[in-house]
Amino acid sequence: MTDLATAPETHQHVPLRHPRLPAFAPLLAAGIAAAAAALIGMTLSWNLTGIVALAIVIHLVGLTLWSRTVENARAATDRLVTSLVWVALLIAMIPLVSLIWKVVQEGSPALNAKFLTWSMRNVIGEPGGIYHAIVGTLIITLAATVISVPIGLLSAIYLVEYGDQSKLARWIRFLVDVMTGIPSIVAGLFAYALFSILFGPGTQMGFGGGVALSLLMIPIVVRSAEEMLKLVPADLREASYALGVPKWRTIIKVVLPTAMGGIITGVTLAVARVIGETAPLLIICGGTDSVNFNPFHGQMASLPVFIYSSYTQPGSNPEILKTMAWGAALVLIIIVMALNLVARLAGKFFAPKRGR
Amino acid sequence: MTSVTTETGSPKRRLGDLVFANTTRAAGVTILVALAGVAIFLTAEGLPAVGAKAPDLKGHSNLLTYVAPLVFGTLLAAVIALVIAVPLALGVALSVSHYAPKPVAVGIGYLVDLLAAVPSVVYGLWGIGFLGPRLIPVYQWLADHLGFIPFFDGPASNTGRTILTASIVLAIMILPIVTAISREIFAQTPRLNEEAALALGATRWEMIRLAVLPYARSGIVSAAMLGLGRALGETMAVAMVLSASGVVTWDLISSTNPSTIAANVALTFQDATGLQRNALIASGLVLFVITFVVNFAARAIVERNDPGKAR
């Protein structure tokens, strides 16, 4: 050791570790950037958006330069990208927060008992209710579910239990994926064209909305049910076959109950996805101010269409109807969120008991 | 047990099995029939509009000149939305798959699901009542300072209901699907590739650039195309936010904007009569074909490069 230490310096000293910024460096940089931006923004009397944007820019530039001087260029790039990823996340979350805040703020004044139990029939110059729209939404969504679940579930059973890798099954799987991308308005136009040909031009009824929505719902049901059926262990099927149970009874008595939790979750999520669809209902169901319980006759109101028409064609009392539109939007969001929650709970509740 | 096998050795099909198998197959075929039915019925109801004249086509001389500007607007709005959404979505997806600690990543995933759950009409409401008015000064500034770029030619809209606002709302709406698919692909990157890169001294970004992104390239492309498909067909947000006049222009911030096929149908269908409705259905058929092709291509790319199948 002493020899080495006293030996003449023949080659350059190479440190084993690069200098690193301390672990709290990004937070420190963010804090300084925020303070600097606030100072500059306030002296120039900018609004909050401008100050935040400036803070982000200062943070990005500052941290990168600091890292470049202390560490090296590669580490600086790494820190820049890390910051950019978090900034992207921040930007993506802004709309969600502001949207929920805005809907709650504008919609909550409209909520009361009358709002939920009255229709808009003969209501002029005062706030009415959205009972007719809630009824319509429930009937139309129920119709869509009644059509979609049997077709979707049976198709999923075919794909997993019978079709497997056959040509037909592969085409169905592929086209179901393509179908998830069908624009909702096209589904509405399809239902309109179908009903025009079947029942005469210009037919509008609630059931048509169910047909249009089922076109959007079936692919979601098929995909989620297929995934769930695939998760059922082959052991269970084989044990059932070994006992001499026919395949179809095995599917109904063993495979479906095992996958039931996941299937219910998938169906609930599919309902949540289509319950807020507006465009198809605008075309095939029309809109009305009265309660209509008959899905096979006459125009039928629905929550999304009510929101749209109240806000864009408010008539003589724009303020009242716009408040009602926000209120209806709040109700719709609450319904969708509740369905999402139910879906998650159902998945837990119906999950097969694992005895071992 | 001897009696249940035939000479060929295959078990005898029971009646119940036969009925059940064919029922499930019929359900599967129903889906294909429904998809074909969309094309057939839209064609059947759209065909009468081929011979339509100016009064039924908002003054356009034939169906082609009626649909073409709408196709332009549809593509313009969707492409801008894509340009905004894809970088953000990749950032969010990376934060979930490679940056955030596990509990935070789960929380972010839940928030993105929440973003996907908001109905489109509520986005429309938010776009027209919140976002639009807040963008007016931005558009004014763009028109004043960047007016030499054709996109910001101006004069700036004083309602904020421009095609750029509509595209921003569209971008938010397609963000969840692009994020979800890229996130899935990123998470499937072979662990060994990542660790090999890190072991060679790569920083986290270099690891992502060398191991994750090349692996996920086709997945990102198809995620973007699926997002494009959504953006092309999205109706209500555009119909509510956009103040459309059906022109063809590159100016993104003025008060005269191109319309999109979907928004045009939603806005005019209720008041349309006779051949006008046939023309709208014909435009819907065009939209169906465009989105079908985009989705078909996207899914074909996923199918061909499905990492689950490759190894």
* Per-residue pLDDT tens over the stretch B19-41: 999 999 999 999 999 999 999 99
| Interface touch B31/A190, C-beta < 8 Å | no
- Is the CB of A215 inside 8 Å of chain B's CB atoms? yes
Chain B residues in contact with A184 (beta carbon < 8 A): 120, 233, 235
Share of chain A above pLDDT 90, in %: 40
| Interface touch B99/A181, C-beta < 8 Å | no
User: Do A158 and A289 reside in the same domain of the chain?
Assistant: yes
- Quote the minimal CA–CA distance from A2 to chain B in Å: 33
User: Do A327 and A180 reside in the same domain of the chain?
Assistant: yes
Which residue is closest to A281 within chain B, CA to CA? B266
Q: Where are the alpha helices (DSSP H) in chain A?
A: 2-6, 25-43, 48-70, 73-107, 113-117, 131-157, 167-179, 184-199, 206-231, 234-242, 247-250, 256-275, 279-284, 303-312, 318-349
- A356 belongs to a structural domain: no
User: Do A63 and A190 reside in the same domain of the chain?
Assistant: no
- Quote the minimal CA–CA distance from B220 to chain A in Å: 16
Closest Cβ–Cβ partner in B28, B90, B122 for A333: B122
Domain that holds residue A45: 18-107
Q: Decide which of A80, A107, A134 is a domain's last residue.
A: A107
User: Do A131 and A192 reside in the same domain of the chain?
Assistant: yes
What pLDDT was estimated at residue B311?
36
| Interface touch B31/A161, C-beta < 8 Å | no
Of the candidates A91, A53, A77, the one whose C-alpha atom is nearest the C-alpha of residue B92 is A91
pTM, two decimals, is 0.87
- Quote the minimal CA–CA distance from B202 to chain A in Å: 9
- Is the CB of A355 inside 8 Å of chain B's CB atoms? no
Find which of B31, B96, B240 to mutate to test the A interface (most A CBs within 10 Å of its CB). B31
Q: Which of A3-7, B105-109, B307-311 has the highest mean pLDDT?
A: B105-109
- Quote the minimal CA–CA distance from B252 to chain A in Å: 21
Residue B112 has pLDDT above 80, yes or no: yes
What pLDDT was estimated at residue B9?
47
Closest Cβ–Cβ partner in A96, A155, A158 for B111: A96
Mean pLDDT of A328-342: 92
User: Do A55 and A77 reside in the same domain of the chain?
Assistant: yes
- Is the CB of A29 inside 8 Å of chain B's CB atoms? no
| Interface touch A193/B41, C-beta < 8 Å | yes
- Is the CB of B121 inside 8 Å of chain A's CB atoms? yes
User: Do A30 and A123 reside in the same domain of the chain?
Assistant: no
Contacts of A281 by beta carbon, 8 Å cutoff, 6+ apart: A140, A188, A209, A212, A213, A302, A304, A305
- A78 belongs to a structural domain: yes
Closest Cβ–Cβ partner in B25, B235, B299 for A158: B25
pLDDT digits (tens, 9 = 90+) for A148-174: 999 999 999 999 999 888 899 999 999
The ipTM value here is 0.86
Question: Residue A201 in contact with residue A219, Cβ under 8 Å?
Answer: no
Residue A215 has pLDDT above 90, yes or no: yes
What pLDDT was estimated at residue A3?
53
Angle, helices A131-157 vs A303-312, to 10°: value is: 130
What pLDDT was estimated at residue B11?
56
| Interface touch B35/A336, C-beta < 8 Å | no
| Interface touch A81/B205, C-beta < 8 Å | yes
* B5 strand-pairing partners: B11
**What confidence tier does B4 reach under pLDDT thresholds 50, 70, 90?**
very low
User: Do A282 and A264 reside in the same domain of the chain?
Assistant: yes
What pLDDT was estimated at residue B160?
83
| Interface touch A307/B122, C-beta < 8 Å | yes
Closest Cβ–Cβ partner in A150, A179, A325 for B125: A325
CATH topology classification for B15-310: MetI-like fold (1.10.3720)
Q: Decide which of A88, A107, A126 is a domain's last residue.
A: A107
**What confidence tier does A356 reach under pLDDT thresholds 50, 70, 90?**
very low
Q: Taking a contact as any Cβ pair under 8 Å apart, which residues of chain A between 237 and 266 contact chain B?
A: 246-249, 251
Q: Regarding predicted confidence, which is higher, B91 or A120?
A: B91
Chain A residues in contact with B113 (beta carbon < 8 A): 340
Q: Which of A222-236, A307-321, A336-350 has the highest mean pLDDT?
A: A222-236
Residue spans of the domains in chain B: they are: 15-310
Question: Residue B206 in contact with residue A74, Cβ under 8 Å?
Answer: yes
Report the Cα B122 to chain-centroid distance in Å: 18
Share of chain A above pLDDT 70, in %: 95
Residue A4 has pLDDT above 90, yes or no: no
What pLDDT was estimated at residue B74?
92
- Is the CB of A130 inside 8 Å of chain B's CB atoms? no
pLDDT digits (tens, 9 = 90+) for B53-66: 767 777 777 888 88
What pLDDT was estimated at residue B138?
86
- A5 belongs to a structural domain: no
User: Do A70 and A206 reside in the same domain of the chain?
Assistant: no
User: Do A236 and A345 reside in the same domain of the chain?
Assistant: yes
| Interface touch B121/A332, C-beta < 8 Å | yes
| Interface touch A103/B14, C-beta < 8 Å | no
User: Do A101 and A123 reside in the same domain of the chain?
Assistant: no
Report the Cα A292 to chain-centroid distance in Å: 29
Contacts of A69 by beta carbon, 8 Å cutoff, 6+ apart: none
The tokens for B209 are 């650039």
CATH number of residue A323's parent domain: 1.10.3720.10
Find which of B122, B173, B271 to mutate to test the A interface (most A CBs within 10 Å of its CB). B122
N- to C-terminal Cα separation, chain B: 40
- Is the CB of B244 inside 8 Å of chain A's CB atoms? no
Residue B161 has pLDDT above 70, yes or no: yes
pLDDT digits (tens, 9 = 90+) for A286-326: 888 888 888 888 888 899 999 998 888 877 778 888 888 99
**What confidence tier does A334 reach under pLDDT thresholds 50, 70, 90?**
very high
User: Do A211 and A334 reside in the same domain of the chain?
Assistant: yes
Please tell me the distance from the alpha carbon of residue A3 to that of residue B215, in angstroms, as a whole number. 52
Q: Tell me the pLDDT of chain A averaged across its residues.
A: 87
Please tell me the distance from the alpha carbon of residue A309 to that of residue A236, in angstroms, as a whole number. 53
Question: Residue A102 in contact with residue B129, Cβ under 8 Å?
Answer: yes
User: Do A100 and A159 reside in the same domain of the chain?
Assistant: no
How many CB pairs lie under 8 A apart between chains A and B?
A: 273
Chain B residues in contact with A218 (beta carbon < 8 A): 31, 34
Is the peptide bond between A314 and the residue preceding it cis, with omega within 30 degrees of 0?
no
- Quote the minimal CA–CA distance from B59 to chain A in Å: 23
The tokens for B175 are 């963000």
Any idea which of A16-20, A285-289, A338-342 has the lowest mean pLDDT? Answer: A16-20
What pLDDT was estimated at residue A285?
87
pLDDT digits (tens, 9 = 90+) for B197-224: 999 989 999 999 999 999 998 889 889 9
Of the candidates B21, B185, B36, the one whose C-alpha atom is nearest the C-alpha of residue B97 is B185
Closest Cβ–Cβ partner in B21, B130, B284 for A189: B284
If one counts the domains in chain A, the total is 2
| Interface touch A278/B115, C-beta < 8 Å | no
Q: Tell me the pLDDT of chain B averaged across its residues.
A: 86
**What confidence tier does A353 reach under pLDDT thresholds 50, 70, 90?**
low
- Quote the minimal CA–CA distance from A134 to chain B in Å: 15
Q: Taking a contact as any Cβ pair under 8 Å apart, which residues of chain A between 317 and 346 contact chain B?
A: 325-326, 329, 332-333, 336-337, 340
Q: Regarding predicted confidence, which is higher, A28 or A354?
A: A28
